[in-house]
Amino acid sequence: MLVCDSHRVLFVHVPKTGGVSVEGVMRRACPDARKQVEPRRGRHAPLGRILDSEPALTTYWSYGFVRNPWARMVSWYAMIEDWRRRITEGGPGSVKNQGNDMWRAVGEYADFEEFVLRGTEEWPRMGRPQVAYLDAPAHGREVDFIGRTESLAADLQVVQERLGVEPTAPPRRNSSPHGHYRDYFTDAARRRVAEVFEADIDRFGYTF
């Protein structure tokens, strides 16, 4: 999450949807941008938890991004695989960045299929639909704008116009190299993603 009080804008950061690039755009427009509310809720706090901490943010213009659920799971897996490789090789930052509990646990899974089948069951954040980050029923709110990773540059223009800055292409940050997402899936893993992220698929019309 990122809050810009001067522009009264709130960014809700759904994991693995291009959020690091989105944050970079917002920070350049908002030197006063802050990453936390009190009590602290974390980088990927859902809208509901953010508003629980600071109800005044209900009046801010809010936005977030979503991504094809199958592609998103591959990107997540590739990120953790890259982290595990760097830890094993002892590369730059390997001692400093030991990951979090989830990373360490899923890093022990045998392969991508186990990552999907077990991870979405054992780790709530992995199995949380993206719409659950962006809707806050208890506050009668959802974010005002939902962009898509697949059209990141175009949708970010909406945000940049709201912030009063000249639209520019976002830099690509925190990306994980991997092949086409369809190549990673067995039938079982494909069905599991469809089941877990049914709300996202229904809301945004994503297909495998």
State pLDDT tens for residues 74-93. 999 999 998 888 887 876 65
SS3 content of the chain, % helix, strand, coil (to 5): 50, 10, 40
Write down the mean pLDDT value for the chain: 92
User: Which pTM value belongs to this model?
Assistant: 0.90
Residue with tokens 């943010």: 57
State pLDDT tens for residues 176-199. 668 899 999 999 999 999 999 999
Locate the domains of the chain by residue range.
Answer: 2-204
CA atoms of 72 and 149, how far apart (whole Å): 10
Q: Is the peptide bond before 171 cis (omega within 30 degrees of 0)?
A: no
Residue 168 has a pLDDT of: 80
Q: What is the percentage of the chain residues whose pLDDT exceeds 70?
A: 92
In the predicted model, is pLDDT for residue 95 greater than 60?
Answer: no
Write the burial class of residue 162 (CB in 10 Å: 0-12 exposed, 13-18 middle, 19+ buried).
middle
Q: What is the mean pLDDT of residues 146-156?
A: 96
Q: What is the mean pLDDT of residues 149-168?
A: 93
CATH of domain 2-204: 3.40.50
Calculate Rg over the CA atoms of the chain.
17
CA atoms of 180 and 161, how far apart (whole Å): 32
**Poorest-pLDDT segment among 14-18, 68-72, 108-112, 164-168:** 164-168
Sign of CA dihedral 4, 7, 9, 13: negative
Higher pLDDT residue, 89 or 8? 8
